[in-house]
Chains A and B, each alone.
Chain A
Amino acid sequence: MSEVAATREIDDHELVGQADWVIGGDAARKGRRQAWYAGYVTFLAALAYGFPVVQAVVKTADPAALREQLASPLTALVVLGAIVAVLWTMYAAGTRRGPVVPPLPWIDHVVTTPVDRAVTVGRWWRLAFGLCAFLGLLTGVTVGAGIAYGGLVGWYTAGLVALGGAVFGWLAASLWLWGQVRCWPGAGRGLLTLLRGRTALRALHIEVLRQHAANSSTIGGSVVAGNLRTARLQLARPVRRARSARLRAGGPFVVFVRRDLLGMRRLPSTFWAGLGLSILGAVVLAWALTHPAVPAVAVTIGLVPAYFGYGGWAEGLRMQADNIGTPNLLGTSLRAETLAHLVLPSLFTLLVLGGALAVAGIAVGSVSVQAVVLVLVLVALLAGAHLLAAFRGSPPKSTFSPSGTGPALLIAWYLLPVIAVLAVGTLATVLTHSSSGSLVWGVLLTAAIVSWGLSKSERLAQEHRV
């Protein structure tokens, strides 16, 4: 029996409102208005650009062949795989930076009070939940309306797609929160908390909120500063697996390949994430390369997971870039070490892409030589883009911005490698489909990207000496 001296009623909302005013003044109300405005702008962008693009893609393809392929079990499997991958990513993101991240002063002075935690942190959850549900619904509406207008499906199916988008957004937000709740051990963290948002908010531990707020500041700061190494280290879990495994000594080149293999053994999540994403990308790419009716945008879409899949296997390359500027410990030349770190990701990507193309070839009866060469070109292109990404160095300074690097320039700088892959990969495929002789342009553009990546790595090694 607990001993109760006295009880007192408190109005949680009233107290939080007062704290809100004391700490932020009118900032909270202004923040809400900004969120509504951002939603309004996103809606307009989807209406002006998203919807026309989707319906144009459908109209430029062969609708009958496309309808038949989209209704196939393989498409359902790929879509399901993509959904599972996104939901798993949301859950994993929640374990590092959940949806509920108030500023540290709010955590220390308001969340620590006896006021109901579901009320003190509710605002951040509502914002994250609203954002996910809105984006899911908007994506569903844009895609649904686009494919219905393009004549691919009926309006009834379009409505279902829109509804599916909203449900997907809700599920993604809930899993994001679930990941954050499960950061702290204890009871009451089962699947049911997915359905009970307020219970989940009350289960959030203060240390988790502090840690995630600190993670958020560090990651946000390092991303803005163009220092992705710090962000990566902040997100990374300490390695403890396969401790007894040893790096087998070898030649100055081979030992780096073995190093990367051992790294994957000790960080299996990077291997499996790379494999899952690469398979996802490979299925879409193989479909696009073996079916003439498939719109060119399928290559662009397939290259996105393929790019990130390659990146999952390229941790060694990023670690090499991290070492640049420190006193030299290794005897292998920079170029040889760089090439050694490309061996495993390129080999794995080639196996996955080649395997997917072989399976697709068996299904349709044949595979063209151009498709085989295109696979090789795409693997080289992914390698070149990851060279650009790993050795991107510091953000460029804008002569027009007083701060040096404006947000637009920073975003462009981050996106450059992936844009290079999407643009060159799509262009190479389209050119090859139109004329087999045009493949040479794809090869030349890819060679230029690889060469640019290698020269960037050498320039970065030279630049740090001031």
Chain B
Amino acid sequence: MSTITQLGGKVRAKAVGKTVDTTTLLLPTTVNADPRKCVVLRGPNGSGKTTLLRIIGGLLGPTTGTATIGGVEADERNPDVRAAVAALIGTPTTYRDLTLIDHLVLVDSSWGGDPNTADDRGLALMARLGIDHLDDRFPHELSSGQEQLFRLALTFARPSTVLLLDEPEQRLDTTKREVVTELIRDRAKDGATVVMACHDPGMTEALAHRVVDVKPAR
């Protein structure tokens, strides 16, 4: 048995930068985010937004600066950090032999959700994203937009105090972007700290309590 400490949602990234060999992926950048707030990272392609999110999520170690989650070093090898951070950065690996609803039930059960209502929670989340009619589809049977909504559902299905999203608007039409905006706003209202990279001015306007401009290295 292991004990998990529930971390607070304060995100502090102080002058974090990343250089691999001679290539600078991210210039030193500072991001501070608090619970119930949403910070949007903005910047041109290649400026290092994804790298910054990976550093905040503890998936990547910074070469300069420090990143913390709830006062603890952001390192996903720490189970407490893993328990605190839900992240949609890149493509989550899915099980090719599970349907969409099976995935959500699995995620829910793995976090100790009530087995009697796991299906209802999964279906409600899918309904919120407008993909409940796809519950018995396998991941390889989705369009690119549906796949993005499914990835978001997977990320939202697990509990978290910090939510990291890398361009959640990708491949979504205008209506679906509004749906996702509402969902993110609700998650922040419920107490989560949201840090997201976004290219959509509408979503940024609707969600951002603060915008951080990430400067490209060159």
Q: Is A131's CB within 8 Å of the partner chain B?
A: no
Name the one of A244, A331, A333, A465 contacting B60, with C-beta atoms under 8 angstroms. Answer: A465
B130 within 8 Å of A (CB atoms): no
Residue-wise interface mask of B (83-97) relative to A, using a CB-CB cutoff of 8 A (1 in contact, 0 not): 101111111110111
Contact B96 A239 (CB under 8 A): yes
Set of chain B residues within 8 Å of A399, measured between Cβ atoms: none
CB–CB B96/A236 < 8 A: yes
B97 touches A322 (CB 8 A): no
Residue A330, interface by CB 8 Å: yes
B154 at the interface (CB under 8 A from A): yes
Q: Given contacts A249-B113, A255-B109, A329-B107, is CB(A239)–CB(B155) below 8 Å? A: no
B112: interface (CB < 8 Å): yes
In the complex, which residues of chain B have a beta carbon less than 8 angstroms from the beta carbon of A333?
Answer: 2, 79
Among B83, B90, B95, B115, the most chain A Cβ lie within 10 Å of the Cβ of: B95
Q: Are B61 and A331 in contact (CB under 8 A)?
A: no
Contact, CB under 8 Å: A326 / B106: no
Check: A365 CB closer than 8 A to any chain B CB. Answer: no
Which of A240, A243, A262, A329 has the most C-beta atoms of chain B within 10 angstroms of its own C-beta?
A: A329
Query: For A236, A247, A327, A462, which residue has the most chain B Cβ atoms within 10 angstroms?
Result: A327
Instruction: Report the Cα distance A332→B111, complex, angstroms.
Output: 7
Nearest B-chain residue to A464, judged by Cβ: B59
Contact A466 B61 (CB under 8 A): yes
Distance (whole angstroms) from the CB of A321 to the closest CB of chain B:
10
Interface of A is mostly: loop
- In the complex, what distance in Å separates the CA atom of A243 from the CA atom of B60? 38
Q: Count of A residues near B, CB < 8 Å?
A: 38
Asked whether A267 is an interface residue with its Cβ less than 8 Å from the other chain, the reply is: yes
Could you tell me the distance between the alpha carbons of A323 and B103 in the complex, rounded to whole angstroms?
Answer: 13
Place the interface of chain B in its size category. Answer: 35 or more
CB distance from A276 to the nearest CB of B (A): 20
Q: Which residue of A lies closest to B114 (CB)?
A: A249
- Bound-state CA distance A465–B201 (Å) is 32
- Give the contacts of A180-230 with B (CB-CB under 8 A): none
| Contact with B106, one of A240, A322, A330, A466 (Cβ below 8 angstroms) | A330
Residue A266, interface by CB 8 Å: yes
Set of chain B residues within 8 Å of A243, measured between Cβ atoms = 99, 136-138
* B178: interface (CB < 8 Å): no
- Kindly name the residue among B83, B88, B105, B154 whose own CB sees the greatest number of chain A CB atoms within 10 A: B105
Q: What's the minimum C-beta distance from A242 to chain B, rounded to whole angstroms?
A: 9
Q: Which residues of B sit under 8 angstroms from A319, Cβ to Cβ?
A: 93, 95-96
The CA-CA distance from A353 to B91 in the complex, in Å, is: 40
Name, among A233, A236, A259, A323, the residue most crowded by chain B CB atoms within 10 Å (CB to CB): A259
- What B residues does A240 contact at CB under 8 A? 138
In the complex, the answer to whether B115 meets A251 with C-beta atoms within 8 Å is yes
- B169 at interface (Cβ–Cβ under 8 A)? no
Smallest CB separation, A11 vs chain B (Å): 47
Known: A247-B102, A255-B109. A462 touches B77 (CB 8 A): yes
Q: Is B119 an interface residue (CB 8 A)?
A: yes
Given A236-B96, A243-B99, A266-B97, A249 and B108 contact (CB-CB distance below 8 Å): yes
Residue-by-residue, is B57-72 near A (CB-CB < 8 Å gives 1, otherwise 0)?
1111100000000000
Measured CA separation A300–B174 after assembly (Å): 62
B167 on the A face (CB < 8 A): no
B118 close to chain A: CB less than 8 A:
yes
| Contact A465:B75 (CB < 8 A) given known A236-B96, A249-B118, A332-B110 | yes
Contact B138 A263 (CB under 8 A): no
A329 touches B155 (CB 8 A): yes
Within residues 233 to 257 of chain A, which ones have a CB less than 8 A from any CB in chain B?
Answer: 233, 236, 238-240, 243-244, 246-252, 255-256
Q: What chain A residues lie within 8 Å of B79 (beta carbons)?
A: 333
Does B111 lie within 8 Å of A331, measured CB to CB? yes
Minimum CB–CB distance from A207 to chain B (whole Å) comes to: 20
Q: Is the CB of A247 within 8 A of B88?
A: no
Which of B83, B95, B140 contacts A263, CB < 8 Å?
B95
Mark each residue of chain A from 430 to 466: 1 if its CB lies under 8 Å from any CB of chain B, else 0.
0000000000000000000000000000000110011
- Chain A, residues 374-417, CB within 8 Å of chain B (1/0): the string is 00000000000000000000000000000000000000000000
* Cα of A262 to Cα of B103 in the assembled complex, Å: 12
- A residues less than 8 Å from B179 (CB atoms): none
Q: How far does the Cβ of B152 sit from chain A's closest Cβ, in whole Å?
A: 12
Q: Does B14 contact A (CB under 8 A)?
A: no
Q: Does A328 contact B (CB under 8 A)?
A: yes
A-B contact pairs, 13 of them (CB 8 A): A249-B115, A249-B118, A251-B109, A252-B112, A256-B106, A256-B110, A319-B95, A326-B91, A326-B92, A329-B157, A333-B2, A337-B110, A465-B61
Q: Which 6 A-B pairs have the closest CB atoms?
A: A331-B111, A249-B118, A249-B115, A255-B109, A327-B87, A247-B102
Task: Kindly list 18 other residue pairs between chains A and B, CB separation below 8 angstroms, not including A330-B107, A337-B110, A465-B61.
Answer: A239-B96, A239-B97, A249-B105, A249-B116, A251-B109, A255-B109, A267-B97, A319-B95, A319-B96, A326-B93, A327-B87, A327-B89, A328-B87, A329-B154, A329-B155, A333-B2, A465-B60, A465-B75
